[in-house]
């Protein structure tokens, strides 16, 4: 028998490089696999350190991170992330919804900030000011991190091929123009809610999408609110700011929602005494009068009445107007070139002032059929139909959470998928709030919708929710899971999603003959395998 000579050991990372033997061995193997020739290229210690950046980041990626829970307050998430690498603490600071509004998922956004490829620290819309403040604090640690003062020397490289620019409408940074078609109210008279089915025409954009994706909408501020803000500034709406009128800039470019820290900093620079101290405190995240949570831009100007920043400085102190994301409630396979949303109109009272949800009221009343607006499709992160069309699915979507599940059902019908479909839907009152009732009942009659389980929280003396209905039919639900069904949740992250998951654990324990710990582990395994997916907000 001929003796097989082992291949020579590749030594790309020299022994003098500042790594442990295990790190050096791993890197040698990793880089050897990337090289297309048989010649080892020794690296300097500095180049080796630079090469270690990528595997270190990859090794830190932890999909089971204990802080990745939308229901945890930021303080608890940061406590759980203590002692973790800086990029992971940045991730913990985010809203943990993986909603995509920032253009990333939470892990990738934190990586981009830590690598200094993303300088914007205010993109986490659900996280708001809390996240932005924490990211700013953590960002300041980057320059203090070991090795930060001496960036690794770059090895000579071949000029990179120019990056391919994404087609319009594929990212928030390059939106497309879609046509607003119309809206219809989904609630009947007598409802306490105001929810609209919204239609868009995408035929001129060339955009398509997959069910589970979200739709980004660039809304505009309410003209009435804008003019009130201009009046508080004591300015003219025609004042020029960055090449636009002040009114145009306030309508389209900046957020008038929660007053940013920079606005309070600006106010502190142009006032004095007790007002200055109060503005400084607010800029540092303190709450001297117990009203910080209610201060949008207009309320901030009212609080410091008489302080009138210069319009240009004022606009520069505000945050950019962010797009809003909505779950798509239609199927491109069923209606190509068309897209639908299911949108709750947000209106509420703070003090004596009525406040409006930016995008929801824009879609409900401030845009007219035929008008165009900037939009984009945000690809889903781990939320979509099973690859096998025969796989049964269980969908839990109360209120507007029904949106992606309407899309799932329309898509399964259009593609001829044979898997069973079970929808849990709930809202306040059956007479007023049964969204898409005719459609869903028709799907049930046709057999497309195998089961439809409903829960109405205000119809009886005792509140009754989707998780209560799940417990009632727990044995059948467990049977579906045992048959390989995928389970989906869409809707409120803070309470509903948590309550539904708790009900699921109880069902697995009771009907799967498991202890509570075993049931928790079973649900965790469903998540890991992609059989339990959430789109929550």
Q: Helices 45-60 and 86-93, interaxial angle, to 10°?
A: 40
Separation of CA 535 from chain center: 9
236, two tokens = 């003219």
417 φψ region: left (φ > 0), alpha (ψ -120 to 50), beta (else):
beta
- pLDDT < 50: residue spans in the chain: 1-10, 22, 26, 30, 32-61, 149-164
* Class of the CATH-defined domain 176-220+323-378: mainly beta
The single-letter DSSP state of residue 37 is S
Tell me what pLDDT residue 70 has.
79
Segment holding 247, helix H or strand E = helix 246-252
8 A C-beta contact, residue 261 and residue 283: yes
Q: Which fold has domain 393-536?
A: Rossmann fold (3.40.50)
Beta pairing partners, 434: none
Beta pairing partners, 353: 350
Tell me if residue 98 falls in helix, strand or coil. coil
Q: Helices 106-114 and 86-93, interaxial angle, to 10°?
A: 130
Q: How far apart, in whole angstroms, are the C-alpha atoms of residue 248 and residue 226?
A: 9
Phi, psi of 525 (to 5 degrees): -70, -35
The single-letter DSSP state of residue 258 is B
111, two tokens = 């990586």
Predicted model pTM: 0.82
Cα torsion angle, 65, 69, 73, 74, sign: positive
- Where does CATH 2.40.30.10 sit in the chain? 176-220+323-378
The single-letter DSSP state of residue 328 is B
What's the CATH number of domain 223-317, 3.40.50.300, 3.30.1490.100, 1.20.140.10, 1.20.990.10?
A: 1.20.990.10
- Where does CATH 1.20.990.10 sit in the chain? 223-317
Tell me what pLDDT residue 291 has.
96
8 A C-beta contact, residue 101 and residue 219: no
| Long-range Cβ contacts of 148-152 (<8 Å, 24+ apart) | 152/46, 152/47, 152/49, 152/50, 152/53
Closest CA to 422 of 449, 443, 402, 462: 449
Tell me what pLDDT residue 155 has.
40
Residue with tokens 């117990």: 290
Structure confidence by residue, pLDDT tens digits, 102-129: 888 898 899 999 999 998 888 998 888 8
Tell me what pLDDT residue 292 has.
95
Q: How far apart, in whole angstroms, are the C-alpha atoms of residue 176 and residue 204?
A: 9
- Where does CATH 3.40.50.80 sit in the chain? 393-536
For the chain, give the number of residues.
537
Q: What number of other Cβ atoms are within 10 A of residue 393's Cβ?
A: 24
Tell me what pLDDT residue 17 has.
56
């Amino acid at each position: 028998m001929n003796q097989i000579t082992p291949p020579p050991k590749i030594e790309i990372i020299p022994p003098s490089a500042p790594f442990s033997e295990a790190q050096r061995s791993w890197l040698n193997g990793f880089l050897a696999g990337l090289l297309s020739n048989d010649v080892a290229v020794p690296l300097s210690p500095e180049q080796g350190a630079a090469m270690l950046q990528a595997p270190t980041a990859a090794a830190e990626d932890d999909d089971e991170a204990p802080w990745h829970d939308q229901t945890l307050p930021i303080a608890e998430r940061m406590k759980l992330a203590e002692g973790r690498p800086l990029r992971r603490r940045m991730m913990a600071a985010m809203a943990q919804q993986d909603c995509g509004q920032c253009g990333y998922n939470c892990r990738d956004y934190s990586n981009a900030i830590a690598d200094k490829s993303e300088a914007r620290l205010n993109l986490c819309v659900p996280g708001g000011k809390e996240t932005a403040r924490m990211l700013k604090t953590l960002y300041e640690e980057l320059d203090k991190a070991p090795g930060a003062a001496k960036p690794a020397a770059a090895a000579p490289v071949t000029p990179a091929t120019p990056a391919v620019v994404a087609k319009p409408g594929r990212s928030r940074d390059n939106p497309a123009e879609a046509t607003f078609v119309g809206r219809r109210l989904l609630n009947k008279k007598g409802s306490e809610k105001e929810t609209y089915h919204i239609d868009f025409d995408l035929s001129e954009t060339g955009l398509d999408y997959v069910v589970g994706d979200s739709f980004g909408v660039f809304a505009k501020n309410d003209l009435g609110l804008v003019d009130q803000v201009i009046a508080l500034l004591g300015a003219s709406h025609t004042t020029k700011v960055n090449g636009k009128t002040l009114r145009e800039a306030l309508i389209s470019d900046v957020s008038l929602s929660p007053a940013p820290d920079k606005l309070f900093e600006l106010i502190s620079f142009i006032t004095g005494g007790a007002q200055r101290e109060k503005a400084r405190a607010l800029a540092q995240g303190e709450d001297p009068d117990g009203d910080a949570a209610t201060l949008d831009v207009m309320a901030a100007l009212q609080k410091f009445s008489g302080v009138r920043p210069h319009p240009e400085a004022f606009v520069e102190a505000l945050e950019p107007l962010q797009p809003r994301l909505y779950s798509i409630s239609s199927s491109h396979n069923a209606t190509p070139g068309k897209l639908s949303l299911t949108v709750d109109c947000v209106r509420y009272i703070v003090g004596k002032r009525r406040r409006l949800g930016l995008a929801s009221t824009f879609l409900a009343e401030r845009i007219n059929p035929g008008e165009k607006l900037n939009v984009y499709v945000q690809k889903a992160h781990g939320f979509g139909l099973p690859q096998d069309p025969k796989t049964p699915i269980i969908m839990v979507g109360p209120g507007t959470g029904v949106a992606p599940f309407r899309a799932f059902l329309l898509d399964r019908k259009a593609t001829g998928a044979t898997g069973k479909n079970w929808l849990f839907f709930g809202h306040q009152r059956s007479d007023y709030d049964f969204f898409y009732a005719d459609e869903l009942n028709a799907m049930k009659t046709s057999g497309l919708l195998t089961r439809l389980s409903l829960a109405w929280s205000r119809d009886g003396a005792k509140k009754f929710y989707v998780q209560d209905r799940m417990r009632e039919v727990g044995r059948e639900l467990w049977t579906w899971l045992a048959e390989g069904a995928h389970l989906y949740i869409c809707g409120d992250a803070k309470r509903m999603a948590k309550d539904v998951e708790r009900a699921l654990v109880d069902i697995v324990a009771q009907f799967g003959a498991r202890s509570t710990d075993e049931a928790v582990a079973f649900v965790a395994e469903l998540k890991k395998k992609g059989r339990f997916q959430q789109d929550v907000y």
